[in-house]
Each structure stands twice: as C-alpha cells, then as structure tokens.
Structure 1
Amino acid sequence: MSFQQALWAFFGFNGRLSRQAFALAGALLYVIRFYAVSRLDLRMDQNILEQLPSMFLMVMGVLFVSHLALAAKRLHDFGRTGWYSVFFIIGDIVVFLILCLPQGTQGPNRYGRETNAPA
C-alpha cells in the first residue's frame, strides 16, 4: 500500500471500502486509541504532564476523524450516504461492529466503480 492509498483510506471521505479493509483499518485505529489511553496513567515529569492533555486531544481528534472517514466509505460500499457516519459519534464500537456485517454492493454503485478505491 502506498502512502497516498493509506492517506485516502484513513482520511478520504469519497469512494468505497470493503468489509475486510474496514475491519482491519478500524481495528488498527482502536489499538492506537486504547494504547494512547493506557499511557495516560504513567508517572511522568511535570513538563510532559503539562503538554499531555493537548497532545492527547490532538491524537484522539485525528483518530476520530479517521474513524468517520472509514465509516463514510463503508456506508458508500452498500449504497448509503456517508452522512450516516455521524451515528458513529453516538455508538462508536457498536456502530463499528454493525458496519462490519453487511456485504457491499456487487459491482459499481453511485459512490464508485469498485471497492477500496477513491471514487
């Protein structure tokens, strides 16, 4: 996978994404998120503790936007609008698991000719 493909996969909101690619990318984001949360309880010096909240919020924001982009592309794969990805805000891991279940549209749809590629 090239850098541009990875950038599209995690931050692009157009195109379609298959179940397998969605599940793997989402699992990677959850691992990163849980690792960041687990590192909060470490005892660090005062300088690092002062910068930690802003760094943590920035990392979580990037991961959240990335999850929304993945959800939008997954919704596109079975013909739904990407705006439904806002439900990810409410349900997070439940919505992630639900989006892993349905099979995508076979062949082209209005969101792209093929899966795992930008529109």
Structure 2
Amino acid sequence: MEFEEQLFALWLGPPIEADFRLVYADPVVINGTPMTVTDLVARASALHSAFTDHEFEIVDRVRAPGKLTVAFRHRARHTGVWSTPLGDLPPTGRVVSGLGIDVLTLDDDGRISAIWVLSDELQRILQAQTAA
C-alpha cells in the first residue's frame, strides 16, 4: 500500500491513536498551527460523528524529497451534528463531496510533520443545506 493510501485509510476507519502516531509526528503543524496527535484523532472522531459512508478518491499526487502533495475528493453522508465555522448543522442525510489538497512535509522518519490544507468547506456546507 502506498503512503497516501495508508494515510487515507486512517481517516476511513474508526480513529485509533496508535495508528495515527505511525503516520503523523507529534505535534504536526497544520496551516501553521501545531496540533498534537491526540487532537488530530479528536478531529477524525468528530468527522466520523458527523459523517458516515466515507469515500476518498486520490485525484493526483506530486512527490518530491521530503514532500508529498495529494489532491483528493472526499464524499460522505451527513448523518450527525456537524460543527462548522458557521455553526452546528443538524444531520441532513445528504451526501456531500468536496475537493481537498494537502501539501505534506515528511520528517526523516517518513512521518507527516507539517500540512498545508486547502479544502472547500463552504461548498460542502451548502451541499448539506441545499435540498436534494
């Protein structure tokens, strides 16, 4: 299994901290802010509380020494309360999808030490709120 498939497999299943520690440095810097692996697992748990039926599709990837950039689509069904920057959204049952781009920095052990994340959260929020 390639590294990026291993990475997305972490986010597909129930979050297990020991598995996250194999892939992420502690702390990992996300968009300039340090985050512990424990906090990262809590973020993954919140994702699983708000959504089910997750699907990740890798659209493209670019590798360089110590770097990996992955463009991907994430689809999931909104089945739980979703805490967004615009407030909490009650479950709608709708399937939402969005494109994300992660620029990963890998440390000498091959773990992710920093991530620049670009994701279209507004698009997904609008999909959840718009009638099917």
TM-score normalised according to structure 1 size: 0.28
The normalised TM-score by structure 2 is 0.26
Choose 1 or 2 for highest CA Rg: 1
Which protein, 1 or 2, shows the higher relative CO under an 8 Å CA cutoff with sep ≥ 6? Answer: 1
**Larger strand percent:** 2
